Structure 1
């Protein structure tokens, strides 16, 4: 397995519907003495409402805060902003990209796989979605974007807990789990979560998740849905043919990629001793061998799809067709 996580800059994509608390969290990161230095990339600096005396080195696009963090505005291309940040590589520990004004975090996430310069210098650490516990039900009813943001999440910060009862909170968590059973949920009030709970988590890397939670992908053919977004998982006991799988998943992502929000899998390929971790955001896929199977564990291949209008029998047949002869 590659050591990219040790040599490249970790990037956290921060998303969430209007009013969920992203600005509050970003203000904390830019102003608190948390001992880390982050570059925060946002759409409009003025939205943050950061006091002028917090800014110690302002130029047109990059603002250095007096706690060492860097704040950038996206007036143009995200790739160009990231390139400018790399010139200051020694000044920060990680990058946060906020998706204000972008309903879907996927285009931001895909940037870290599609641009070769960005891919060499950075790696996606986690997609963090802030959710308004009081108003989530209303947002799910009137906005497809709210559900999509949850579907993409590795970590969900369930914010404004002071405005709901325990029963209401449990129902909100149930709604989140119906959309994305695999995201970590962390409750918060006024976006008060430890910085280390959302930064430096390596949550986008499936192998790191499996280290913490070996049963992360367990449960054959789970089928949950929230209106038009559902999650399906399948498993097969026989080893897979790597070429068959690559051909099938490649065609599937090309033809159905817009509906497939997140895809994750741990696969047992014939002739290989190590596990293969696979994941995709829409059509952009990534995978790597992540070391041996845990001692005593069954070498079952498991795959999870989170998306819209998924055909369970067709996906099951396609996955099973990859079994090695």
Structure 2
């Protein structure tokens, strides 16, 4: 038998009629979840996919970084799904189910600090289990940054423990010995785990959608406990001491000052940051991503009035200090008339 070489856009098999299939994408801060979600949206062929995106923070950066979601995007309240908005998650799923235009598939991207177990149990509990079918929990792991003590986070280990498949992402940034060690570590947590290596979260969709890996029978004890006491499933953020700092400004940054902030002042307790940046020296919109010690800036065109929006996520962050440092990076005067940007309302 010849080995099949899948491409990202290979047609998916016909989806079953019993309940809307659901895939949960989980993974720790900066692992590449939104990149994977974008890969799904770019290569979904004729599937009508609804997306639920949730963020830890009060600025919805991920919504701005997603492509081609348009009316498929259903917004959840801000905060971690598994610890603050289970009821809102159920409401959002009903909103998807009640749409006049049929939805073929539901994909949920959790925050990087989410223990996926409460989200899994929400779909296996009585209210949703006859209307939806939990297909698989996909855990995205940063091959370069993850290790056995990954940020000392219970949530990071739970994301592997309760996943059905691991996408070992960013293998191009990791040493071969590190990849081997990480595979062994994952295998020790969950023997027989399916591991898919990837760069930039590029994985053929038939390997991750409509694969039927989540088995409800494996969660009977957890479902019973979930019904008795949902609070015990929702306290991981307090245990891990994570918090966020958000920053907005209608004034641009000075590039030199912002680079000084990143290289000289950034706290080691910041594990993840992302945002939309406006620099005095550039007419472009800059997409900012930071994961551990690595950061990246990509430029494109403004489609709205320029502004700065940033979220930093870490452990025991000093909000007042970070905001003061960022304010020190701002240009003294707004420069809205410096560049001629079409169709912008000033």
Match of 2:219 among 280, 286, 290: 280
Contact 2:28–2:112 (Cα < 8 Å) also in 1? no
Question: Cα distance, 1:281 vs. partner?
Answer: 6.6
Closer/same/farther in 2, CA of residues 5 and 183 from structure 1, 3 Å limit: farther
Contact 2:26–2:112 (Cα < 8 Å) also in 1? no
Match of 2:123 among 112, 115, 132: 112
Contact 1:109–1:281 (Cα < 8 Å) also in 2? no
Question: Cα distance, 1:89 vs. partner?
Answer: 7.0
TM-score normalised over the length of structure 2: 0.52
> Over aligned residue pairs, what C-alpha RMSD do you find?
2.5
Closer/same/farther in 2, CA of residues 281 and 107 from structure 1, 3 Å limit: farther
Q: For the residues of structure 2 that align with 1:140 and 1:82, how far apart are their CA atoms?
A: 32
Cross-structure match for 1:134? 144
Cross-structure match for 1:188? 198
Question: Cα distance, 1:5 vs. partner?
Answer: 5.7
Cross-structure match for 2:62? 47
Q: Quick check: 1:87 aligned with 2:26?
A: no
Q: Per the alignment, in what secondary structure is the counterpart of residue 157 of structure 1? A: strand
Closer/same/farther in 2, CA of residues 150 and 141 from structure 1, 3 Å limit: same
Question: Cα distance, 1:30 vs. partner?
Answer: 2.8
Q: For the residues of structure 1 that align with 2:63 and 2:171, how far apart are their CA atoms?
A: 22
Question: Cα distance, 1:132 vs. partner?
Answer: 0.5
Question: Cα distance, 1:51 vs. partner?
Answer: 6.7
Q: Quick check: 1:24 aligned with 2:35?
A: yes
TM-score normalised over the length of structure 1: 0.55
Cross-structure match for 2:175? 165
Question: Cα distance, 1:91 vs. partner?
Answer: 2.8
Q: Quick check: 1:72 aligned with 2:81?
A: no
Q: Per the alignment, in what secondary structure is the counterpart of residue 218 of structure 2? A: strand
Q: For the residues of structure 2 that align with 1:161 and 1:175, how far apart are their CA atoms?
A: 16
Q: Per the alignment, in what secondary structure is the counterpart of residue 49 of structure 1? A: helix
Question: Cα distance, 1:180 vs. partner?
Answer: 1.1
Contact 1:130–1:157 (Cα < 8 Å) also in 2? yes
Q: Per the alignment, in what secondary structure is the counterpart of residue 35 of structure 1? A: coil
Runs (4+) off by over 4 Å: none
Q: How many residues align?
A: 197
- Larger RCO, structure (CA 8 Å, separation 6 or more): 2
1:6-25 to structure 2, matched below 5 A, reads: 6-25=17-36
1:218-297 to structure 2, matched below 5 A, reads: 278-280=217-219, 283-284=222-223
Closer/same/farther in 2, CA of residues 82 and 176 from structure 1, 3 Å limit: same
Question: Cα distance, 1:144 vs. partner?
Answer: 2.0
Gaps of 5+ in 2: 1-14, 78-84, 225-346
Contact 1:5–1:123 (Cα < 8 Å) also in 2? no
Q: For the residues of structure 2 that align with 1:140 and 1:281, how far apart are their CA atoms?
A: 29
